[in-house]
Amino acid sequence: MRVKSLALLWMAPLGFLALFYFYPLGSILQLSFARSAGGAAGALLEALRSVAVREALWFTLWQAALSTLLTLLVGLPGAYLLARYQFRGKSWLMALASVPFVLPTPVVAAAFHALLGPRGWANQLLMSLLQLETPPIAFVNSLAAILAAHVFYNTTIVLRVVGDFWSRLDPRLWQAAQALGASRRQRFLRLTLPLLAPAIAAASLLVFIFDFTSFGVILLLGGPRFATLEVAIYQQATGLFNLPLAAALSLIQLVCTLSLTVIYSRLSARLSRPLSLRPRTYTQQRLRTWRTRLAAGLLAGALLVFFTLPLAALALRSVTSIEARSRLDRPAAPGLTLDYYRELGVNRRGSLFYVTPATAIAISLGYAAATVLLALALGLPVAWALARGGDAPLNRWLDPLLLLPLGTSAVTLGLGFIVALDRPPLDLRASPLLPPLAHTLVAFPFVVRSLAPALRSVRPRLRQAAAVLGASPWQALRRIELPIIGRALLVGAAFAFSISMGEFGATAVIARPEYPTIPIAIYRLLSLPGSLNYGQAMALSAILMAVTAGSILAIDRLRTGEGDEF
């Protein structure tokens, strides 16, 4: 594809990023550094000299590295099982493994609280069995909680990226190596690992980026003892109002993220190079011996328990009375109850800013619909450019920009929206369009990564045959490429929908009080004392969890299955 055609495809997405990412980010950085006596250099020197900042940076790095290692240890065996074997319930296992990835942080925090918190099921059971007066498991506000939540969130990345690539490797490679006398160990070390190295490295980098920029997990499950760069930015910007230092930390984080995303894009490009790739119907086999069935059953069972136990604890807690007597007008019935769901529509405090859950759900659905339209409109041209342009220099330089919003401080970006988009014709501070724009920045990269592999699978000979028969490029696109990638479009739409429904960080900064989304409503309930508010948070979290699970199940039913990157 010519450079001019590639540039035209990139024009609208780059304009969107320039207007709603670089401009707000540059505005808040400029305003912040302007307040520093020494400018940007002074703020950066202050940050580098600060012991607290160095500790936060060190903790950010090593907790992300440890979380990534643990995620690989959990995900790689599962990736092997899902890539090489067919068994009953496989699609359900993949769907359940993908649900945590798009759940908002308050829901995941509520799930771990319901399972391992002071009032969680594990502590309540142990206190009852051992006749204890205090909870024996101190899980919340610990490093273990941070690591467990990160693994819970990101294991699906390893299953998707590594598993999808592994499932398409031609098994004749191993058959040939075995025929040449290679042992199982030699085949693994000299064949499997080298082939999978780019996929493992790409998945590891992506997991590391998400752990490196972790905010909600640290804040809600780590407690005050732990602080990543993102938490430090939040504390400096909103707690201490030290905008220069917050901007300096954001700049440090942005440089680190940009470096990682450039490496990730290079590794992802290697995954698209032609190897001996085959359809899954050819590479996957059934579990034939009792040993393979037993091993597969144990591994699948362990993954199933890991992904479903916190969510099941959350769902059960939402329909279970927490105390012998609730804060309702009548005593709470022992055992199962729907009181928390009924109370979601009651404004007992008479607050002017109270919004019923039905309204919050409608607002979230509206934001999600707008996000889907924007993300698809921007993602399709970029995916087409990446697929048709291959390893063109323009693609190599611009592709890493797509992941930058994922590694940028949500707090900084939200403040940038408020500062930059405050004058006509871009006075959007009071506009309902602002949250969908922020959600699109997050969903946009996932849409591209869902569409690009499907577009790469379109054989050039089909387009050439259409051209020989007199079809214009637009007719070839409409009648050949779009029908082939139709399922991938639905997958991208489902991803954008799920991400918008669960987005929390940026929305918490820019959303107006009278227009809360479901995650904001959950966070408000979790921040209030009392068992009734806790139960309502569990009920609303269960509703959002059900919506997210339905979207992920739709993704697994619709995805093309031949190399989607997510």
Q: What is the CATH number of the domain that holds 266?
A: 1.10.3720.10
pLDDT at 413: 79
Is the model's pLDDT at 330 over the cut of 50?
A: no
User: How many structural domains does the chain have?
Assistant: 1
Confidence of residue 334 (pLDDT cuts 50, 70, 90): very low
Is the model's pLDDT at 238 over the cut of 80?
A: no
In a domain? residue 418: yes
Ranges 124-128, 143-147, 281-285, 488-492, most confident: 143-147
Average pLDDT of the chain, as a whole number: 78
Query: Kindly report the CA angle at 264 between 261 and 265, in degrees rounded to 5?
Result: 90
In a domain? residue 288: yes
Within 10 angstroms of residue 139's Cβ, the number of other Cβ atoms is 19
Average pLDDT over residues 177-190: 76
Q: Is 336 exposed, middle or buried (0-12, 13-18, 19+ CB in 10 A)?
A: exposed
Q: Is 477 exposed, middle or buried (0-12, 13-18, 19+ CB in 10 A)?
A: middle
Q: What percent of the chain has pLDDT over 70?
A: 82
In a domain? residue 322: no
In a domain? residue 27: no
Rounded to whole angstroms, the Cα distance separating 81 from 289 reads 15
Query: Which residue reads 């205090």 in tokens?
Result: 134
pLDDT at 410: 74
pLDDT top residue among 397 and 70: 70
Confidence of residue 405 (pLDDT cuts 50, 70, 90): confident
pLDDT at 70: 95
In a domain? residue 24: no
In a domain? residue 33: no
pLDDT at 68: 94
Within 10 angstroms of residue 369's Cβ, the number of other Cβ atoms is 15
Which domain covers residue 468, as residue numbers? 3-19+38-171+179-317+339-558
Rounded to whole angstroms, the Cα distance separating 296 from 470 reads 53
Q: Which tokens is 50 given?
A: 């600060």
Average pLDDT over residues 27-52: 70
Average pLDDT over residues 396-405: 76
* Helix (H), strand (E) at residue 111: helix 105-116
Q: How many helices (H) and strands (E) does the chain have?
A: 28, 2
Q: 458-505, pLDDT tens digit by residue?
A: 666 776 677 777 777 667 766 776 777 777 787 788 878 888 887 877
In a domain? residue 326: no
Query: Which residue reads 């291959």 in tokens?
Result: 390
* 3-state helix vs strand vs coil in the chain, percent to 5: 75, 0, 25
Confidence of residue 148 (pLDDT cuts 50, 70, 90): very high
In a domain? residue 333: no
Average pLDDT over residues 275-291: 63
Q: 55-94, pLDDT tens digit by residue?
A: 888 898 999 999 999 999 999 998 888 887 887 877 778 7
